[in-house]
Amino acid sequence: DLVFTYRVRQYVQNKSADIIMIQQIYADMVIKDGMSRTERILKRTIDFILSLIGLVILSPVFLLVYILLKKQNDGPVVFRQERIGYRGKPFFILKFRTMRTDSEENGTPQLACKGDDRLTPVGKFLREHHLDELPQLLNVFMGEMSFVGPRPERQYFIDRIMEVNPDYEYIYLMRPGLTSMATIYNGYTDTMEKMLIRLQMDLDYLKNRSLWLDAKIVFTTVRFIVYGKKF
């Protein structure tokens, strides 16, 4: 059932619950993949086909964004960053660059947040409309990501999360995704508290996931983008 998802969503909306209580609720649950092997194979097949179609259909948008970023003349167009993905293997996530090249000048990983002053003018527009994520269609096509799944994280932040909740290792059972319930309802994970909430929502997705649930998540994500809802 999705009782846990509802309770976490309530927390995200009213900010009145206690993260420790949420962890205790989840501690009593059995973390088991809700998808059968056949469903996982079908999910990967759908990802492959749809990402290929998306790359072809959206190629004019890719070209337009490329031109806009090139006109800024302040760094590379595509941003590559190492993340930890399926089975705990590192890969390079692809994005259109939205921040200044000196956004982490001191070498310490920093979380993005709303109103981030490191965003370039074009980057701010891309981020607000989620166009910066388009290159990840190539990650999906190559099998490094899926359309639906937990957002991939950097090892630096994974280590911090696992100090509080070692259940993060279950995330490695899934390919990271372009979108998820946590992406839609938890917004920017700019604090450790929100990282832990995201983890619990991702684990709940693992337990309940199905192709039908994936379709609903994709539909909700598209609807939010079309209607301009910020997440």
Q: For position 175, what pLDDT does the model report?
A: 97
pLDDT band at 113 (very low <50, low <70, confident <90, very high): low
Phi, psi (deg, nearest 5) at residue 44: -65, -40
Instruction: Give the mean pLDDT of the chain.
Output: 84
Tokens 């002053």 -> residue: 117
Higher pLDDT, 188 or 81: 81
pLDDT at 20 over 70: no
Cα–Cα dist 41/47, whole Å? 10
SS (H, E, C) 31-51: CCCCCCHHHHHHHHHHHHHHH
pLDDT at 119 over 90: no
Cα–Cα dist 147/43, whole Å? 9
pLDDT band at 5 (very low <50, low <70, confident <90, very high): very low
Q: Could you report the per-residue pLDDT of 159-204, keeping only the tens digit for each?
A: 999 999 999 999 999 999 999 999 998 877 878 889 999 999 999 9
pLDDT at 227 over 90: no
